[in-house]
């Protein structure tokens, strides 16, 4: 049987898979604290110049030899005097982080497809725990910049491999819930970070509080086994079946190994080929799907971060502003949970992107209508972010279902690279001016939404295991329960099954 059928026997979402999901989701609560950490640790406190003759701290006529900062909170700005002509370095640090994430997606995506999910994940997690905690104790700005790149590098590996592992261990009917829960905890983590920063006003204490918990998640290595789907795709059938039997036992389903015998194409069993990024664009159908997905990820990241940066403070209190930016994502995630199972992945992706795009156009329209119009434009900016957050949740699940197992991590890594490039470019979009910036966001979102209609629907379909499965995909409809085949095909299938059974018997 194929892997999805085996999961139905084992249990698509039993107590064992729930344990995996809860562990990875709890870890994801702390990931946004690294990604948006500079919102608080890079925040500029009230500053004046010690020189009494200076009109301001950044006077163009007098040079300030010493800055005096308010005592409401501390940050790297007050630590290294990143004000006036040095203030640009704070925004550079965010770019350094995103460059690190880009590199992490590229490296860990290929590595996890080559050596497996489990080993790659634990290596990235240990690295993240080390460099994130080190950043709280450094007294060198240069070393702090280096650590930001390293944090991004390991965050890119941890987040991506964790998500892929979750979606591979649950049945197709539960992927939406599992993926949405994982993404939803990320949004809750944004709100949790705002609460944490409100009580910990010293930036070093805040970094330790948001980084030290990673050390406790090393236990995941002992409770989450290697992805059985990945093992099966590598031809390691016996190992995959053993893990499935273990999951079935923990789920309370007593099944025999003979009930979940996995059958994969003979070329997958006999081939020792290692797949990587170059395989993503070799074949025509898969190439078209990958390019559309890459553009979707790019657009989601560009518009999401662009709206976040351009909307400004939506409340007078910075901590409330950050909390609301996380809160507004929750409705979008709940919407996509309903939408993906009701309308399907393709239509839900299209609807979310187009909603975000038209919201950007409405921001432009209402921004010219006085104070009331400006307030309405902020609301539409938030609706746009909600739409893009929903699209982000959909695109993760949609891509995991579209990309075959043999290159799934490489494919997700490639798409994540496109998203990270957009994240680096998003702050630069503000230099285009208000109208051009929102017009860019609107057009790219709408175009991406329309392009997604060119992709096949994956709801209720078996996940592809090989690139050949993608190339041979000829219909978006679920196959009927009865399929007519000729006697020669049946005889050939019986011979293949017999060969596999004899091979399995000789090995055991």
Q: Are 229 and 116 in contact (CB under 8 A)?
A: no
Q: 442-468 in b/e burial notation, b at 16+ Cβ within 10 A?
A: bebbbebbebbeebbbbbebebbbbbb
Q: How far apart are CA 280 and CA 113, in angstroms?
A: 13
Task: Give the closest residue to 408 by CA, choosing from 234, 223, 241.
Answer: 234
Give yes or no for a contact between 155 and 127, defined as CB atoms under 8 angstroms apart: no
Q: What are the pLDDT digits (tens) for 171-206? A: 877 777 887 788 889 889 988 998 999 999 999 999
Per-residue model confidence (pLDDT) at position 265? 47
DSSP 3-state of 67: strand
Per the document, the length of the chain is: 508
Q: What is the reported pLDDT for 314?
A: 58
pLDDT less than 50: residues of the chain: 265-272, 475-508
Supply angle C-alpha 433, 437, 443, rounded to 5.
Answer: 150
In order, the DSSP letters of 91-159 are HHHHHHHHHHHHHHHHHHHHHHHHH-HHHHHHHHHHHHHHHHHHTTT---HHHHHHHHHHHHHHHHHHH
Digit-coded pLDDT (tens) for 348-366: 999 999 999 998 899 888 8
The residues, any chain, with a CB within 8 Å of residue 423's CB and separated by 6 or more, are 98, 101, 301, 302, 305
Q: What is the pLDDT of residue 195?
A: 92
pLDDT at position 508: 38
pLDDT computed for residue 335 by the predictor: 82
How much is the pLDDT for 230? 84
Of the candidates 148, 182, 189, the residue with the CA atom closest to the CA atom of residue 166: 182
For residue 431, how far is the Cα from the chain centroid?
27
Please give the pLDDT value at position 297. Answer: 93
What's the predicted TM-score (pTM) here?
0.78
- What is the residue whose two structure tokens read 């080929």? 273
pLDDT of residue 311: 52
């Amino acid at each position: 049987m194929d892997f999805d059928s085996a999961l139905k026997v084992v249990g698509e979402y039993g107590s064992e898979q729930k344990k995996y999901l809860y562990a990875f989701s709890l870890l994801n609560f702390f990931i946004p604290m690294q990604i948006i950490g500079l919102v608080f640790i890079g925040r500029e406190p009230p500053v004046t110049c010690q020189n009494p003759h200076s009109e301001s701290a950044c006077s163009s006529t007098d040079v300030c030899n010493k800055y005096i900062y308010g005592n409401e909170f501390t940050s790297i700005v007050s630590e290294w005097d990143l004000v006036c002509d040095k203030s640009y370095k704070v925004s550079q640090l965010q770019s350094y982080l995103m460059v690190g994430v880009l590199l992490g997606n590229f490296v860990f995506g290929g590595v996890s497809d080559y050596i497996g999910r489990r080993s790659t994940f634990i290596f990235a997690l240990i690295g993240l725990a080390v460099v994130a905690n080190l950043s709280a104790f450094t007294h060198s700005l240069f070393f702090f910049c280096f650590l930001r790149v390293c944090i991004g590098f390991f965050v890119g590996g941890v987040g991506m491999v964790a998500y892929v592992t979750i979606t591979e261990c649950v049945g197709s009917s539960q992927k939406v819930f599992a993926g949405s829960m994982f993404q939803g905890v990320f949004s809750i983590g944004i709100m949790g970070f705002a609460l944490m920063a409100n009580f910990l006003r010293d930036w070093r204490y805040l970094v330790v509080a948001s980084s030290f918990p990673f050390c406790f998640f090393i236990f995941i290595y002992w409770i989450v086994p290697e992805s059985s789907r990945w093992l099966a795709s590598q031809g390691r059938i016996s190992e995959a079946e053993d893990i499935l039997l273990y999951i079935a036992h923990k789920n309370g389903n007593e099944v025999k190994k003979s009930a979940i015998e996995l059958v994969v194409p003979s070329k997958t069993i006999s081939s020792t080929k290692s797949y990587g990024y170059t395989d993503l664009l070799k074949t025509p159908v898969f190439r078209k799907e990958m390019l559309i997905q890459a553009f979707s990820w790019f657009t989601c990241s560009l518009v999401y971060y662009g709206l976040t940066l351009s909307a400004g403070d939506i409340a007078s209190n910075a901590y409330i502003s950050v909390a609301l930016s996380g809160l507004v994502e929750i409705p979008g995630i709940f919407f996509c949970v309903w939408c993906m199972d009701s309308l399907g992945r393709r239509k839900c992706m299209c609807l979310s992107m187009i909603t975000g795009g038209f919201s950007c156009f409405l921001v432009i329209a209402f921004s010219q209508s006085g104070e009331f119009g400006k307030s309405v434009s902020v609301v539409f900016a938030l609706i746009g972010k909600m739409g893009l957050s929903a699209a982000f949740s959909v695109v993760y699940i949609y891509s995991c279902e579209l990309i075959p197992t043999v290159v799934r991590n490489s494919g997700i890594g490639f798409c994540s690279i496109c998203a990270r490039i957009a994240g680096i470019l998003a702050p630069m979009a503000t230099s285009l001016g208000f109208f051009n910036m929102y017009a860019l966001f609107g057009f790219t979102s709408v175009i991406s939404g329309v392009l997604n209609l060119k992709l096949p629907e994956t709801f209720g379909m078996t996940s592809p295991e090989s690139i050949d499965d993608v190339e041979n995909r000829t219909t978006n409809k679920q196959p009927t329960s009865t399929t007519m085949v000729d006697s020669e095909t049946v005889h050939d299938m019986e011979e293949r099954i017999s060969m596999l059974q004899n091979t399995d018997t000789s090995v055991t």
